[in-house]
Copies of this chain bind each other. A is one copy, B any other.
Amino acid sequence: MKSDRTLFDVNRRAMLSALAALPALPMLLPGSAQAQSGTGTLPLAPVAPVPIADPLPAWNDTASKNAIFNFVERVTRQSSPDFVPEGDRIATFDNDGTLWGEQPMCFQLLFALDRVKVLAPKDSEWKTEEPFASLLKGDLKGALAGGEPAIFKLVVATHSGMTVDEFNDIARDWLATARHPITKRLYTEMVYQPMLELLAYLRANAFKTFIVSGGGIDFIRIFSERVYGIPTQQVVGSSGKTKFELQNGKWVLTRLPEVDFIKDGPGKPAGINAHIGRCPIAAFGNSDGDMQMLQYTTSGSGARFGLIVHHTDAEREWAYDRTSSIGKLDKALDAAPAAG
């Protein structure tokens, strides 16, 4: 397993090239290289030894980058002893903190908070019931003081009681318009350019790319195809139970206020087995919740690859690891060197 402390120490000129070449794939990051340079017209001749056809231009020329190239070469070259047939080239990615941001809190929770405000006029009991009461008074800290049970109540209140299609429309509208509280960007713009390049590079080498997230499966599916090129059936995530019922003469699935499956920690290998039915040969995460997925992936025989995105760039994003309440990276950071 490759611990990568320098993933976001990105070569800025290389990143600018990437931005120029891929205008449809915006780089996230508050105070990004483009914003800081104040110009998009820096000379594009590479300073670092980045080959012209580099499929990962936003990555610094580090050991991590070379390890990715070496791994892909080993599993795709027909004559390699580690050759893996196309159908078995499965790569799994965590979402929050690995493919897009997760600060100051998981974006789906920000969606839930916004929804409570929208729905509040319909539910007068919320004025006196926690965590709704605090939230509606503008006291976010008070609302979240109740910890997981409070968060669960907020999520249930905003994620159930409608059909699957209705929920998808609500979340789609929110993602199309809501802005991140700090960066003021659309959430779907807060995705990591280096990881978009990695997804595309792996797919160009006949990998199938999957998301395996502790976040809500339906929420991610709304934008995964458009933003990451990952279709709904390749998204594995936490889910609630549904009920099949006749509504106005049409058969629909409605969302029940019951958790079906949490795909975090040991739930990730279990979810991978349930959805994909084979063990990935490469996995990418950023927190302790991804440790079991990385262990499962790198335990298999043959060439395996695990990578941890370590958030160290406070200037352009956020720096956090061992003591963070969101995306805590502690045990996995210790385990990474031992697993190679």
Contact = CB atoms under 8 A, between A and B. Distances in A.
Interface of A: 87, 164, 208, 210, 217-218, 221, 225, 231-235, 239, 241-244, 250-253, 260, 266, 269-270, 273-278, 292, 295-296, 299
Given A274-B260, A275-B233, A269 B253 contact: yes
A299 to B, nearest CB: 4
A253 B266 CA distance: 10
A239 B271 CA distance: 11
Given A239-B274, A251-B292, A225 B266 contact: no
The 3 closest A-B pairs by CB, nearest first: A232-B277, A244-B266, A251-B299
Nearest to A218: B277
A298 to B, nearest CB: 8
Nearest to A221: B277
Q: How many copies of this kind of chain does the complex include?
A: 2
Q: Which of A218, A225, A250, A274 has the most CB of B within 10 A?
A: A274
A225 B252 CA distance: 31
A284 B276 CA distance: 22
A210 B295 CA distance: 29
Contact of A208 (B233, B243, B250, B274): B233
Most chain B beta-carbon neighbours within 10 Å: one of A218, A232, A252, A260: A232
B244 A270 contact: yes
A172 to B, nearest CB: 13
